Amino acid sequence: MKNLFIVMGVSGSGKSTMAKQLNTLVKNYDVYEFDDLGVPTDFTTIKQWIDWRVERTDVLMSKMTKDSVICGTVLPYEFIRFNDYKDRFNVKFCHLTLDAVSIRQRLSARGWDSNC
């Protein structure tokens, strides 16, 4: 059974930064990052966003041949939709948190609206 760590958090919490660091530090794990998949910006409903995340997670899990880390927002209740996940993966969730001021600064540096 493969180990799968899912690193999640709100935008600006450090998921992409964590993925980059893990890629250099942890050589025996594959590290996948949602932003590398080209996150769509044209969703009009929350359901579309959730469905995309679930589909992307399924695609990533189908590629996994060894212990892995997914950095992106995959919520536990979404993950359990996969019927065989208990047979395929030993799953652990890690939720990144950061204070609101730091998140605003990080998002502002990306060009996001300062009112976010």
Domain for residue 22, yes or no?
yes
Range of the domain at 85: 2-109
Domain for residue 115, yes or no?
no
What is the model's pLDDT at position 109? Answer: 84
Mean pLDDT computed over 77-98: 78
Percent over 70 (pLDDT), the chain = 91
Number of domains composing the chain: 1
Domain for residue 44, yes or no?
yes
We report the CATH number of the domain holding residue 12 as: 3.40.50.300
Taking the whole predicted model, whether its pTM rises above 0.85 is answered as no
Residues listed for the chain:
116
Domain for residue 91, yes or no?
yes
| Alpha carbons 22 and 16: distance in angstroms, whole number | 10
What is the model's pLDDT at position 115? Answer: 60
49 burial type by CB count under 10 A (0-12 exposed, 13-18 middle, 19+ buried): middle
Domain for residue 98, yes or no?
yes
Domain for residue 88, yes or no?
yes
